[in-house]
Amino acid sequence: MAPVKSFFILSLLIAVSSILNLASAHLSHDFYKKICPKVLPEIRKVVQRAIRNETRIGASLLRLHFHDCFVNGCYGSVLLDDTVNFTGEKTSLANNNSARGYRRCCTRDSVAILGGPDYRVLLGIRDARTASRDAANNNLPAPFFNFSQLLSNFQAHELNLKDLVAPSGGHTLGFAKCATFRNRINNDTNINPKFAASLRASVCPASGGDNNLQPFDATSARFDSVYYQALLKKKGLLHSDQELFKGNGSRSDRLVQR
């Protein structure tokens, strides 16, 4: 692939994090240098062990980071349990029984360990003290969104088309549940027929098996461009994935082809 494309994806993921932070005062790359100088190497060791034990945790960390940042900024609100004062994000439609992981440094480390570029993150963000399930449901893009809905969703966060196409490349890692792509493999026309048939036969029947897992692409434990290559072949797993490439020469098509 393309180290360049890999770097392009991560650069925009970092940009998304920065844009979605509501306040960035007093943040720095070396925030813990004096008070806890060994924290970053220790975090990486923990992430390495976790990925060694279960490769999927790398994808989970990347997903968790996006789901946290896209709802009121990167403050860790997705990690908060419900209290008598609020119902948190853990039980939202996008996160319930599927959001696992820790925080920003862990996400950076997991991407690097799985073959993506390393990068620096701003540290020192204060933890969230409240969370909102409704905010998560209203802000996180759904797997059945069409292109207009996806773009509107990102524009509502002051992001543009490039910011939409690039972070979607995070689906180079991980899996999706049958329930999120059943309608696509049975009803979509913008899908490779043999690909759809193989999924119906092997992992996602017409009924039952909602929690059966299918990798987003053929190299689900490697940070690469195979996800985008799949879109060019009409083999995007989710409806929202394939909406980024329709083969009509649009600007979105051209970004996927880069």
- d(C-alpha 240, C-alpha 67), whole Å: 16
DSSP alpha helices (H): ranges in 140-225? 147-155, 161-168, 178-187, 193-202
Q: Residue 189's pLDDT is what?
A: 96
Q: Which residues define the annotated binding site for heme b?
A: 171
What band does 214 get if pLDDT is binned at 50, 70 and 90?
A: very high
Mean pLDDT of all residues in 158-185: 90
| Given 26, 67, 157, 239, the catalytic residue | 67
Q: Residue 22's pLDDT is what?
A: 46
Q: Residue 43's pLDDT is what?
A: 84
Domains of the chain (ranges; CATH) run 3-140 (1.10.520.10), 151-257 (1.10.420.10)
Mean pLDDT of all residues in 51-76: 77
pLDDT (tens digit per residue) in 20-44: 554 455 777 788 888 888 888 888 8
What band does 102 get if pLDDT is binned at 50, 70 and 90?
A: very low
Q: Residue 105's pLDDT is what?
A: 59
Whether 157 is catalytic is no
What band does 3 get if pLDDT is binned at 50, 70 and 90?
A: very low
Q: Which residues define the annotated binding site for substrate?
A: 141
Q: Residue 207's pLDDT is what?
A: 95
Q: Comparing 202 with 53, which gets the higher pLDDT?
A: 202
To which residue do tokens 């439609």 refer? 93
CB 204 within 8 A of CB 214: yes
Residue 215: in which H helix or E strand, if any?
Answer: strand 213-215
